[in-house]
Amino acid sequence: MSGVLVVTGGGRGIGAAIAELGGARGYKVCVNYSRAMDRAAAVVESIRDQGGRAIAVRADVADESDVVRMFREVDDNLGPVSALVNNAGIDIPPTDFADLDPAKLERLFAVNVFGAFLSAREAIKRMSTARGGAGGVIVNISSRASVHGRLVREVPYAASKGAIDAMTITLANEVAPQGIRVATIRPGIIVTEIFDSIGGEAALKEIAKTGVPMGRPGQAREIANAALWLCSEEASYVTGAILDVGGGR
């Protein structure tokens, strides 16, 4: 593979795994981060240690000016983006629906939904064959939570991921004639540090014994493998697709 890969929220967890695998497979990689500069720098260093090329760019994907600046930095340092993985996302503490805080709800959708929209917009401007681009791929990271209905008291998070699913299908139809493919991955229970507060991998293994047909949680690398496949020519006839990577959950 070759080209320029932008991974939002690329400093840790699934995003870091995607960025590092992309670098290993020949992409020049932009590792986006919002606050954890040290984590993003470590991912960049890992890619460079493998002989790849990468940069870290701070940007809050919910801020339009930040997103525009990030893609301009990518243009200047790596070249026009050919693959975008919309991975950046946040959650809010579980809350009874009747007690929802509008400010927290707004921030959740600003990052999880508007951030993906803004990043995709900037990528399409550069990828679209109708605008002089060479085509490209957009992969959105959603969640099995958008459909399984099990995250009681986490309706906002599930709804934000449902918006990404709907965006994927319709956007794919719009930009297919412009040489751009759009797809989504819906991860299930994946071992990342976001679950450290509930006991980390050991706790997830217990949950997975009864909550996942395959009986185990997934690893970030397994999501990365799916994302890089979708970005590759092996998936050249795949667009508008939603790929569940959740062990059957």
In the sheet that 136-141 helps form, which strands lie side by side, from edge to edge? 53-58, 27-33, 3-7, 83-86, 136-141, 180-187, 241-245
34's tokens: 């919002």
54: amino acid identity, one letter: A
Active-site residue 33, yes or no?
Answer: no
Judging by DSSP bridges, how do beta strands 180-187 and 53-58 pair with one another?
A: unpaired
- 62 to 65, 96, 121, 134, 151: CA distances (angstroms): 9, 25, 13, 27, 24
Neighbours of 137 (CB within 10 A): 27
204: amino acid identity, one letter: L
Cα–Cα distance, 15 to 17 (Å, whole number): 5
- Residue among 27, 33, 157, 237 flagged as catalytic: 157
Cα–Cα distance, 230 to 238 (Å, whole number): 7
Instruction: List active site positions.
Output: 157
